[in-house]
């Protein structure tokens, strides 16, 4: 793939990672009790024009 493609892909994924982490941290701070709890998380990326959907599931454990 081209350098332009790689750069745009990295920029998009960095934005997804940084903004998602901030949103998750904000939600954990706003929740009444989260210490030591584990939360199921799901991320979905879609590119409508390509008919592509990608899902990732995992667990996020709050600080104790």
Which pLDDT does position 58 carry in this prediction? 98
Structure confidence by residue, pLDDT tens digits, 1-48: 799 999 999 999 999 999 999 999 999 999 998 888 999 999 999 999
Q: Where are the domains of the chain?
A: 3-61
Sequence-separated (6 or more) residues with CB below 8 Å from residue 16: 43, 45
Distance (Å, whole) CA 27 – CA 60:
12
pLDDT at 63 over 90: no
The distance in angstroms from the start CA to the end CA of the chain is 43
Closest alpha carbon to 42 in 62, 58, 18: 58
């Amino acid at each position: 793939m081209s350098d332009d493609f790689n750069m745009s892909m990295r920029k998009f994924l960095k934005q997804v990672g940084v903004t998602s982490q901030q949103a998750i941290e904000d939600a954990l701070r706003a929740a009444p009790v989260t210490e030591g709890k584990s939360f199921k998380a799901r991320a979905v990326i879609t590119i409508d024009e390509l008919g592509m959907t990608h899902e990732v599931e995992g667990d996020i454990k709050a600080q104790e």
